[in-house]
């Protein structure tokens, strides 16, 4: 008589949706019930270049080598970035994930990005990354908000060395506890016309999400501890903020 199959829960290979884990499955490893479910979503608004693709592959390989989480992936390819982010959020809720990790298709990051952000234990935390501002200037995607003036002010640079609270942060890479979507007004992400900073008429979906989080009493955090790249005409990093702004 052959041996009975081991009754446990299976290690998840990233796929479109979370598999049904309600019943026993013959596997070699049992995953504890407290293991976190993570949805990694990529709102693809443009073709992915080699560096971001390599980073994503390395992230998945890292998670497969050390399966501490139950992971699923969601790719959205609509031309409407706000709709893509909302679809990812809904997928996280429907899949009963604990966290939603949004990674844009133009970001460069270490394969330990998920481990680092989860270790911060924040409701919403993004990474500090950089992008062109005015001609010849590069700055972090960070903002202060002035409620009386209802205006946003860009940070010219970031000299922080530990995670810190912010009013606004770009969603290039952002880890969100799924439960906060119940607190924040819908649509969570949306473009709309408003004078939210000088000479800018359209509010981005990332800043709109930050504004709704603040209104719901949800804290926003930024993590400056990792080397993050932002692919535009080339890959911008913190070094570009220092070197170009000092010219």
Helix (H) or strand (E) holding 59: helix 50-65
pTM value?
0.82
Phi, psi of 86 (to 5 degrees): -65, -40
- The whole-number average pLDDT for the span 178-204 is 76
How far apart CA 123 and CA 197 sit, in angstroms, is: 26
Q: Do the Cβ atoms of 103 and 40 come closer than 8 Å?
A: yes
- Quick one: pLDDT at residue 10? 41
Q: Do the Cβ atoms of 32 and 70 come closer than 8 Å?
A: no
- Quick one: pLDDT at residue 144? 86
Residue positions counted in the chain: 247
Strand-pair category, 192-197 with 200-203 = antiparallel
Query: Which residue's entry shows tokens 């008589």?
Result: 1
Q: Do the Cβ atoms of 142 and 245 come closer than 8 Å?
A: no
Helix axes 81-94, 205-215, angle to 10 degrees: 50
Partners of 231 in the β-ladder: 235
Please, which pLDDT band fits residue 8 given cuts at 50, 70 and 90? very low
Q: Give buried/exposed letters for 173-194 (b at 16+ CB in 10 A, else e).
A: bbbbbbebbeebeebbbbbeee
- Quick one: pLDDT at residue 245? 55
R_g of the chain computed on alpha carbons = 19
Helix (H, G, I), strand (E, B) or coil at 180: helix
Partners of 41 in the β-ladder: 74, 102
pLDDT digits (tens, 9 = 90+) for 127-167: 999 998 766 789 999 988 876 666 677 888 888 999 999 99
Q: Which domains does the chain have, with CATH numbers?
A: 9-245 (3.90.550.40)
20 contact partners, CB below 8 Å, separation of at least 6: none
pLDDT digits (tens, 9 = 90+) for 22-41: 444 444 445 667 789 999 99
How far apart CA 19 and CA 14 sit, in angstroms, is: 10
Q: Is residue 217 left, alpha or beta, with left meaning phi > 0 and alpha meaning psi from -120 to 50?
A: left
């Amino acid at each position: 008589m052959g041996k009975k199959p081991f009754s446990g829960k299976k290690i998840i290979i990233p796929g479109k949706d979370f598999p049904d884990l309600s019943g026993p499955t013959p596997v070699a490893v049992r995953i504890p019930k407290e293991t976190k479910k993570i949805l990694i979503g990529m709102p693809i608004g443009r073709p992915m270049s080699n560096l971001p693709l390599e980073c994503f592959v390395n992230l998945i390989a890292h998670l497969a080598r050390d399966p501490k989480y139950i992971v699923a992936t969601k790719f959205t390819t609509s031309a409407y970035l706000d709709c893509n982010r909302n679809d990812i959020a809904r997928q996280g809720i429907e899949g009963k994930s604990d966290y939603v990790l949004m990674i844009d298709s133009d970001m460069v990051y270490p394969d330990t990005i998920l481990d680092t952000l989860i270790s911060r234990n924040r409701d919403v935390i993004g990474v500090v990354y950089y992008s062109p501002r005015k001609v010849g200037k590069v700055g972090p995607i960070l903002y202060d908000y002035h409620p009386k003036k209802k205006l946003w002010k860009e940070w010219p640079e970031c000299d922080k060395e530990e995670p810190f609270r912010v009013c606004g942060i770009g969603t290039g890479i952002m880890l969100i506890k799924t439960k906060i979507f119940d607190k924040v007004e819908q649509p969570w992400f949306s473009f709309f016309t408003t004078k939210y900073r000088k000479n800018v008429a359209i509010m981005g979906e990332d800043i709109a999400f930050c504004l709704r989080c603040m209104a719901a009493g949800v804290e926003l955090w930024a993590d400056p501890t990792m080397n993050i790249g932002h692919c535009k005409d080339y890959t911008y990093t913190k070094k570009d903020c220092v070197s170009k702004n000092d010219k």
